Amino acid sequence: MSKERDIARIEELRIEINYHNQLYYQKNEAEISDYEYDALVRELKELEEKYPEAAKCSSPSVRVGSDLTGRFPEYRHGLPMLSIDNTYNQNEIHEFYRRMGKMAGREEIACVCEHKIDGVSMSLVYEDGNLTHASTRGDGETGEDVLPNVLTIPSVPRQISLSGKAEIRGEVFITLTDFKEINEKRRLQGEEPFANPRNLAAGTLKLLDQELARQRQLSFFAYGKGAWEAESPDGQWEFLSLLADLNFSVNPHIRLCMTKEEVWSYCVHWQSERNSLDYVIDGIVIKVDSFALQEKAGRTMKSPRWVIAYKFPAEQARTRIKDIVVQVGRTGVLTPVAEMDPVALAGTSVRRATLHNEDEIKRKDIRIGDTVLVEKGGDIIPKIISVVVDERTGTEQPFSMPSFCPACKSPVQRLPGEAAHRCVNMACPAQVRGRLENFVSKGAFDMDFVGSGLIEVLVAKGMVKHFSDLFHLDYTALSEMEGLGEKSVHNIKRSIEKSRRISLDSFLYALGIPFVGKKGGRLLSARYRSLDRLLEASEEELQEIDGIGEKTAMSLVSFFENTENREEIRRLRDEVIIIYDEESGEGPFSNKSFVITGTLKTMTRHEAEEIIRKGGGELSSAVSRKTAALIVGASPGSKLEKAEKMNIPLWSEEVFLKAAGELKKGEA
């Protein structure tokens, strides 16, 4: 039984780690600390080593977390951008030194120590001195080219005196001064402040609005190299001098250390002095100086062996909970937040801490009036670690979640097996912006020129409160806004007008119903082929659909029973034409799975997916043995190499359209 439990635990860990990877890399959120995350990965590695038959090359223990969103062109790195192994104590640093020294044939080696800034990794690509690409890490092999937003960063040179192709790696971040200024403006405008500088920097790089990106005041420090065709120095320290000569901003606190004692001294110094900096650091990166030794050390699938990161322990302090209030997030989730007596922590005065959900409060037995231990790592909003039970006086009050939404007074829902309480009213003012971003996204209404920046402006100015308001925009007022010219407004209007025809599955996905994603929308559309029939479906009837579980069925019924939601659906039906599927039958792609890589010339990926689905097939995100063909567009990513190794058929866009036969793009 022990082996069975361990194998089951491996799968549990993979699911949990992938979940946290998605939160961190794609949603720019985090529910657990780096230490807790690393503990999960360490446990998974140990179990996989114990049971090698259970190992998978797709396991998060050997793969880099991915920040790919599909909203930007893909860029394949000349050299992989990998993650860095973490350590939390001096002994592991000494062990790293021992391994590198043994490989070098001497006891002491030179290492370069630098601040581990809590920002976003970036690779700048220069071709004959001109900046041509700026790519995120992505999945390590392929990133997303966010050059337009990177061009708004003053510290990134547009041209450098260097021939050939060069990838210059560095960190994009927001200074604490700029972060506080941005949040202060949001508070004055009645908007929720951003959680921390790292999330804001990551979100800014993925904006489709350059002007808004420019206002966010991103900064950049260069620290390394990827693919490199020009003559290179012999080591990291000299390379940093070269970067400075090329007019890159290089962190002034980087130091060349000749012994492990000097390295540890550097770590200890900045652990105590990190709050004196104008940016957030959560540790120290230690790199072998010699490029030759770096090459000899090599790398694993996930991390280079010649670098290690010492992570600082999170700072802690004691304070008292004065009250617990409830905030409504953009997805409708109600989050309890502790309001506390002010306490100095990590260089700031802390007054609030997120409590996540009711289960977390009950598990820690947190009450109003309790003395608690709070911890703060890189986040601006800290978390409560534990209650100081010995200091209870008997006056402390237990907390329970409200039955009605604090923002719109609609009933609150908690589904079986779900930790979160939710407001399912799509018109809830606290949720408008987040729901709108989903509503206009690809796979939903696909309003390609209505980005998050524009939505932020429309909501702030009160021009959009409901989904249907997008179809009644005042384009004259829009054209008078700063940064929006006649051409931009024309593109916005065109993208909204073309979205007035939409398939039922895309319409359902656009509504943002909890637990109903793209696949769920397709399952419901295939079963009912009528919105009216779906609106009257019971929980029992919905659960009869293969792939629709109890939580999803309850969520659907609750959503459609909400009076405000019904009214908004009615308004939307006055504006758009919902296209219903005919009976599904045999087609050219029946029971076949396809994958797309690169940029298609004549259609979007969503349109290609519709063609495949109409032909009886499905679009997958990953190449596997069951992939019928890889459809290859311009600038293909790492999927092409994988497909070639697996002898998967490669289709051009023209071959794909020919195979579709009578299924024309317009009909789909």
Distance CA 258, CA 236 (A): 13
Distance CA 61, CA 41 (A): 6
Q: What are the two backbone dihedrals, phi and then psi, of residue 582, each rounded to the nearest 5 degrees?
A: -80, 175
**Which stretches of 31-159 are assigned E, i.e. beta strand?**
74-76, 86-87, 111-117, 120-127, 130-136, 142-144
CB-CB contact of 136 with 143 (8 Å) = yes
Using a 10 angstrom Cβ sphere, with 0-12 exposed, 13-18 middle and 19 or more buried, the burial of residue 49 is exposed
Q: What are the two backbone dihedrals, phi and then psi, of residue 574, each rounded to the nearest 5 degrees?
A: -75, -20
Distance CA 274, CA 116 (A): 11
SS3 of 438-457: the string is HHCCCCCCCCCCCCHHHHHH
Q: What are the two backbone dihedrals, phi and then psi, of residue 8, each rounded to the nearest 5 degrees?
A: -65, -40
Catalytic residue (choose from 116, 287, 639, 642): 116
CB-CB contact of 122 with 110 (8 Å) = no
CB-CB contact of 167 with 125 (8 Å) = yes
- Pick from 33, 29, 32, 59: which is nearest to 46 by CA? 59
Distance CA 85, CA 289 (A): 17
**Which stretches of 551-602 are assigned E, i.e. beta strand?**
577-579, 593-597
- Backbone φ/ψ region at 2: left (φ over 0), alpha (ψ -120 to 50), beta: alpha
What is the per-residue burial (b if ≥16 Cβ within 10 Å, else e) of 515-551?
Answer: bbebebbbbbbebbeebeebeebeeebbeebeebeee
Task: Determine the distance from the C-alpha atom of residue 458 to the mean position of all C-alpha atoms in its chain, rounded to a whole number.
Answer: 24
What is the per-residue burial (b if ≥16 Cβ within 10 Å, else e) of 605-635?
Answer: bbbbbbbbbbbbbbbeeebeeebbbbbbbee
Residue owning tokens 């009615």:
570
116 is catalytic: yes
Using a 10 angstrom Cβ sphere, with 0-12 exposed, 13-18 middle and 19 or more buried, the burial of residue 205 is buried
Residue owning tokens 């006086």:
393
Residue owning tokens 């036969």:
661
Task: Determine the distance from the C-alpha atom of residue 211 to the mean position of all C-alpha atoms in its chain, rounded to a whole number.
Answer: 22
Distance CA 11, CA 59 (A): 9
User: What sign for the dihedral angle of Cα 434, 439, 442, 447?
Assistant: negative
Number of H helices, E strands in the chain: 24, 24
Q: What are the two backbone dihedrals, phi and then psi, of residue 457, each rounded to the nearest 5 degrees?
A: -70, -45
- Secondary structure percentages of the chain, helix, strand, coil, to 5: 40, 20, 40
Distance CA 418, CA 548 (A): 16
Q: What are the two backbone dihedrals, phi and then psi, of residue 54, each rounded to the nearest 5 degrees?
A: -95, 0
Q: What are the residue numbers of the active site? A: 116
